[in-house]
Amino acid sequence: MKHNLPKLPYDYDALEPVIDEQTMLIHHTKHHQGYINKYLNALEGSDLLDKDVEAVLRNLDDVPDKKRQAVINTGGGYYNHRLFWEILTPKDTELSKDLTHAIDRDFGSFDNFKKEFSTAAKTQFGSGWAWLVVTPEKNLKVTSTPNQDTPFSIGTPILGIDVWEHAYYLNYQNKRPDYIENFFKIINWEQVSKNFINA
Ligand code: MN3
């Protein structure tokens, strides 16, 4: 199958002022493209390239030992950013009733969820991601991962925030908490609600 850099569903400057045009351009065309290129290199000649990267990451036991860490790093970067672009939007969107109910059930309230997610994002030491995942029991859970690790061992991610400095440094420098707070203004809740149904 083809492993192309996915087109963004909006312009590079569409998420300003939350995320600036230059950050989006570099993040998409350099970082994300770089992970895809390195993933293709790591698995060159392997029939694992016939599968979608998500299927490969969900079945890491099928990856040869000496390629596994490279797949975790580069395939993770490939997959994580693909999800990240999808769950952002410049438009005002709303959570579905189902997702609202599930958040209330599992976190008590949307505010509690936001607090827990933001704390996970703030306290992820160094580079990584914070996630909202759907567990196999269909519960919502907040978690975080280092580097480009994916959260599949805990559940299917439906929302994630990239807290690598490359995601925010031009605009926010060391102020990761401000980036996280503003991130909530550009979440595509329609897409997250779809992800919730499909998880
Ligand atoms: Mn990134």
Residues 105 and 191 in one domain: yes
Query: Cα(105) to centroid of ligand 1, in Å?
Result: 31
pLDDT digits (tens, 9 = 90+) for 70-104: 999 999 999 999 999 999 999 999 999 999 999 99
Residue 14 in domain: no
Judgement on whether residues 106 and 191 belong to the same structural domain of the protein: yes
Say yes or no: 170 and 118 in one domain: yes
Taking the centre of ligand 1 as the mean of its atom positions, its distance from the CA of residue 96, in whole angstroms, is: 27
Measure 71 CA to ligand 1 centroid, in angstroms: 16
pLDDT value, residue 1: 85
Sign of the alpha-carbon torsion through 198, 121, 135, 154: positive
Structure-token match 């929302």, residue found: 159
82 and 104 within one domain: no
73 and 128: one domain?
Answer: no
Q: What pLDDT is recorded for position 20?
A: 98
pLDDT digits (tens, 9 = 90+) for 127-163: 999 999 999 999 999 999 999 999 999 999 999 999 9
Residue 185 lies in a domain: yes
- Same domain assignment for residues 130 and 162: yes
pTM across the whole model: 0.97
Residues 103 and 183 in one domain: yes
Structural domain that includes position 45? 21-86
Distance 167 CA to ligand 1 centre (A): 5
User: Looking at residue 113, which CATH number applies to its domain?
Assistant: 3.55.40.20
Domain termination site, one of 37, 58, 86: 86
Total domains in the chain come to 2
Is 13 inside any structural domain?
no
Mean of per-residue pLDDT scores for the chain: 97
Distance 109 CA to ligand 1 centre (A): 29
70 and 110 part of one domain: no
25-57 tens-digit pLDDT: 999 999 999 999 999 999 999 999 999 999 999
Last residue of a domain, one of 86, 107, 125: 86
Q: What does the pLDDT read at residue 118?
A: 98
